[in-house]
Structure 1
Amino acid sequence: MGGGGQQTDRITGTNGRFSTYTWEEVQKHTKSGDQWIVVERKVYNVSQWVKRHPGGRRIIGHYAGEDATEAFTAFHPDLQLVRKYMKPLLIGELEASEPSQDSQKNAALVEDFRLLREQLEAEGCFKAQPLFFLLHLGHILLLEAIALMLVWNFGTGWINTAIVAVLLATAQGASAEWWNHRHFQHHAKPNVFKKDPDVNMLNAFVVGKVQPVEYGIKKIKHLPYNHQHKYFFFIGPPLLIPVYFQFQIFHNMFSHGLWVDLVWCISYYVRYFLCYTQFYGVFWAVLLFNFVRFLESHWFVWVTQMSHIPMDIDYEKRQDWLSMQLVATCNIEQSFFNDWFSGHLNFQIEHHLFPTMPRHNYWRAAPRVRALCDKYGVKYEEKSLYGAFADIVRSLEKSGELWLDAYLNK
């Protein structure tokens, strides 16, 4: 945990005990350089320590001024170890008259979800099966080996090259640190503007129902957003990984000194070009590489965004963990193909509720999560794969129409 917590000034009363705080007092400490969080009714001053947080400063800052108990539990496999490192940051606890959760959260739902998690833990649902992941790695390596064997034995014709590109689109060559930095934030606050990097569209798209109206009222028009459902096919899936992510990954590694990640990333390129320049030459090998990235990008955008872009996208609402995740995610029908093709991201709801649960156990949690949602009237949405893909385009079209109406009439 980053070499231990940084000692903070502990605020104590005249009896030598930690001070007690109201939610109103805690919620005043939300800005950079002055951040408090609440975990299990205890108040922690993380203002300076956020820089040393192994999960990144932003993710812990996203919970400043609120109860972070559910996120704390969801992200840390060894809670006892983490609690030990948090002790120097402890400055007090909530007053006895204060509820354990922020006022916006349903205490009964929070408690029932906690009990559900305990049941799943007791049943071993958070224990990974090494054989599953070894077989998964083996099938990726097998696809790469088949691709190389095809070129070796059958040459570099167009049809063969297309097959090779499909087979090669299984390895990413990305920075693990960069991915974790993005993905942890996304899981902590999915579809929350200014907190989830996945809804930062760099002014290329407007998403949800709130942002389009804001942009329209402010007369912001970087692109004709009423046509975004059309140009999405040209600048969305085709360019995300080959252009934007490619640049961002290397910029992040150099700017943050992620030299180990850089070595691993470079090894991916070295391996690729050593294998394929001998068959294609440098120019065509580069083209093949970019075509592989092009295919990867399409898979990545459609599979990861089918469960998010059509869902609620808004500013911070401080909802309980289950409600926050369910309004921002949906599932895709289970089938052998959907499980394989999506990498079990068809269980996006369970993936978000339990980020440390190995993917091969999502199916065990799903029926009980659905039952809990039914009990509290929380919508548990499940779609067909085709319907989910189509909803991405439909939601972009609807957001574009909202923008145009606000731009012209408000």
Structure 2
Amino acid sequence: MSNLETRPARVRQVSSYAELSRQIRDAGLLRRRYAYYWSWGIGLVMAFLACWTAVLMLGNTWCQLLVAGLLGVVVTQFGFLGHDAAHRQIFDSSRWNEWAARVLSGVFAGLSYGWWLHKHNRHHSGPNQENRDPDIAPGPIAMTPAVARARTGWAAWFTRHQGHLFFPLLLLEGANLHVGGVRELISNRALPHRRLECTIILTRFALYLGVLLSVLPPGKALAFIAVQLGVFGFLLGASFAPNHKGMPIVPKDTRIDFLQRQVLMSRNVHGGPVTDIAMGGLNYQIEHHLFPSMPRPNLRRARPMVREFCRSRQVTYTETSLIGSYRIVVRYLNTVGRPDRDPFACPLVRQYRG
């Protein structure tokens, strides 16, 4: 029996991740992909400008709602690009990545980079762990049975049906992200570059609203904003939802090694190039969580390596179709809404307690 096999389980897993990291690094999958990101970024800026050119050219017509939908798609892609920069996937320089993320998030998507970064880093450090991952914290949707059991009256009724209501609610996610960012900028005076982000977001909103009101009456302008935010929120939410919802929930005091924490709590979505673009590379969630700074186009190439590595170490690697993942999400949320059930308890809890 080898020395590795005789070590404690946690030590073996740490050594395993180091071995996987060496394989990924030797394959060149952590190298920057400047051509990809520059071409993709320039293309998105051109699409963004084309949308606003169409707004000015079309004038007062309900056809503007089609442009609003297209603008929602483009802004979503800027959100994904800002996510990549925030994870330092684009440039070697941390500073360049930080400012790229701030500009992409603020100027084009209207979101606060500082607020989102703090929230997202907490998610990556403890995916699906109670009292640690903000994505499963109490909110309109109850992500854990404990939250669901505490609800009464109308909130309890809503929670019992939350799986079927989840995707319609995503139409409000765009507005929720904007409000959350602004609220944090107002309340958190310690947020880095707070005044600059406030200036960027307020200036963007003023220009956005000013252009619309110069072309459309208030009613149509409001409909334009609603459609754009609805498409933006739905596409973002539909990209994030398949990644962790319905995967094991980790009790707050449970300690799990990095490899298993990131793999067992994440789910991949298989598909082709269209899926890759529509989900901004987040369909390779396992690879992204294991190597957050890996450039997006390299995630597909890393997938077979990571999958085979997990198979050889008997670490469950979960992957399904997009429709299949949505079914899991709806079923999980409806099950959570039943206070007599405790779905998807973490299988590692018994192992580590044992």
TM band (smaller chain): 0.7 to 0.9
Which residue of 202, 221, 243 corresponds with 1:266?
202
Alignment map for 1:91-170 (pairs within 5 Å): 106-158=10-62, 160-169=63-72, 170=74
Asked if residue 238 in structure 1 is aligned to residue 171 in structure 2, the reply is: yes
* Contact 2:145–2:341 (CA under 8 A) maintained in structure 1: no
Write out per-residue CA displacement over residues 283-323 of structure 1, whole angstroms, 9 at most, x where no aligned residue.
43233123211111111111101111111123232111111
Which residue of 276, 287, 290 corresponds with 1:353?
290
Q: CA deviation at 1:350?
A: 0.7
Flag the 1:126–1:233 CA change in 2: closer, same or farther, 3 A.
closer
Asked if residue 194 in structure 1 is aligned to residue 131 in structure 2, the reply is: yes
2:300 aligned partner, one-letter code: W
Flag the 1:326–1:405 CA change in 2: closer, same or farther, 3 A.
closer
Q: CA deviation at 1:346?
A: 0.9
Q: What percent identity do the matched residue pairs reach? A: 25
More helix by share: 2
In the alignment, the residues of structure 2 paired with residue 233 and residue 307 of structure 1 have an alpha-carbon distance, to the nearest angstrom, of: 15
Which runs of 5 or more structure 2 residues have no equivalent in the other structure?
1-6, 76-108, 343-354
In the alignment, the residues of structure 2 paired with residue 231 and residue 389 of structure 1 have an alpha-carbon distance, to the nearest angstrom, of: 13
> SS in structure 1 opposite 2:171?
coil
Flag the 1:394–1:405 CA change in 2: closer, same or farther, 3 A.
closer
In structure 2, the residue matched to 1:64 is: none
1:130 aligned partner, one-letter code: Y
Asked if residue 292 in structure 1 is aligned to residue 228 in structure 2, the reply is: yes
Which runs of 5 or more structure 1 residues have no equivalent in the other structure?
1-101
Higher relative contact order (CA 8 A, sep 6+): 2
Q: CA deviation at 1:125?
A: 1.8
Asked if residue 226 in structure 1 is aligned to residue 160 in structure 2, the reply is: yes
In the alignment, the residues of structure 2 paired with residue 273 and residue 214 of structure 1 have an alpha-carbon distance, to the nearest angstrom, of: 38
Q: CA deviation at 1:392?
A: 1.4
> SS in structure 2 opposite 1:338?
helix
In structure 2, the residue matched to 1:78 is: none
Q: CA deviation at 1:276?
A: 2.3
* Contact 2:167–2:234 (CA under 8 A) maintained in structure 1: no
2:320 aligned partner, one-letter code: K
Flag the 1:180–1:123 CA change in 2: closer, same or farther, 3 A.
same
In the alignment, the residues of structure 2 paired with residue 146 and residue 110 of structure 1 have an alpha-carbon distance, to the nearest angstrom, of: 49
> SS in structure 2 opposite 1:389?
helix
Flag the 1:145–1:219 CA change in 2: closer, same or farther, 3 A.
closer
* Contact 1:120–1:365 (CA under 8 A) maintained in structure 2: yes
In structure 1, the residue matched to 2:103 is: none
* Contact 1:350–1:366 (CA under 8 A) maintained in structure 2: yes
In structure 1, the residue matched to 2:91 is: none
Rg comparison, structure with higher value: 1
Write out per-residue CA displacement over residues 111-163 of structure 1, whole angstroms, 9 at most, x where no aligned residue.
121122123224432222222112222222222222223333334432x2232
* Contact 1:238–1:297 (CA under 8 A) maintained in structure 2: yes
> SS in structure 2 opposite 1:305?
helix
Flag the 1:197–1:148 CA change in 2: closer, same or farther, 3 A.
same
In the alignment, the residues of structure 2 paired with residue 329 and residue 123 of structure 1 have an alpha-carbon distance, to the nearest angstrom, of: 23
Which residue of 300, 314, 318 corresponds with 2:255?
318
In the alignment, the residues of structure 2 paired with residue 358 and residue 271 of structure 1 have an alpha-carbon distance, to the nearest angstrom, of: 33
In structure 2, the residue matched to 1:327 is: 264
In the alignment, the residues of structure 2 paired with residue 155 and residue 214 of structure 1 have an alpha-carbon distance, to the nearest angstrom, of: 48
Flag the 1:219–1:252 CA change in 2: closer, same or farther, 3 A.
closer
Which deviates more from structure 2 when the two are superposed, residues 316-325 or residues 144-153?
144-153
In the alignment, the residues of structure 1 paired with residue 203 and residue 271 of structure 2 have an alpha-carbon distance, to the nearest angstrom, of: 36
* Contact 2:269–2:320 (CA under 8 A) maintained in structure 1: yes
In structure 2, the residue matched to 1:381 is: 318
Which deviates more from structure 2 when the two are superposed, residues 372-381 or residues 273-282?
273-282
* Contact 2:110–2:201 (CA under 8 A) maintained in structure 1: yes
> SS in structure 2 opposite 1:286?
helix
Write out per-residue CA displacement over residues 210-248 of structure 1, whole angstroms, 9 at most, x where no aligned residue.
x315743x67563322222233244x3122221x32222
> SS in structure 1 opposite 2:337?
helix
More strand by share: 1
- TM-score computed with the length of structure 1 as normaliser: 0.67
In the alignment, the residues of structure 1 paired with residue 341 and residue 246 of structure 2 have an alpha-carbon distance, to the nearest angstrom, of: 19
- TM-score computed with the length of structure 2 as normaliser: 0.77
In the alignment, the residues of structure 1 paired with residue 264 and residue 278 of structure 2 have an alpha-carbon distance, to the nearest angstrom, of: 24
Alignment map for 1:9-158 (pairs within 5 Å): 106-158=10-62
In the alignment, the residues of structure 2 paired with residue 283 and residue 156 of structure 1 have an alpha-carbon distance, to the nearest angstrom, of: 11
Asked if residue 400 in structure 1 is aligned to residue 337 in structure 2, the reply is: yes
Q: CA deviation at 1:260?
A: 1.4
Asked if residue 301 in structure 1 is aligned to residue 205 in structure 2, the reply is: no
Flag the 1:214–1:143 CA change in 2: closer, same or farther, 3 A.
closer
Asked if residue 343 in structure 1 is aligned to residue 246 in structure 2, the reply is: no
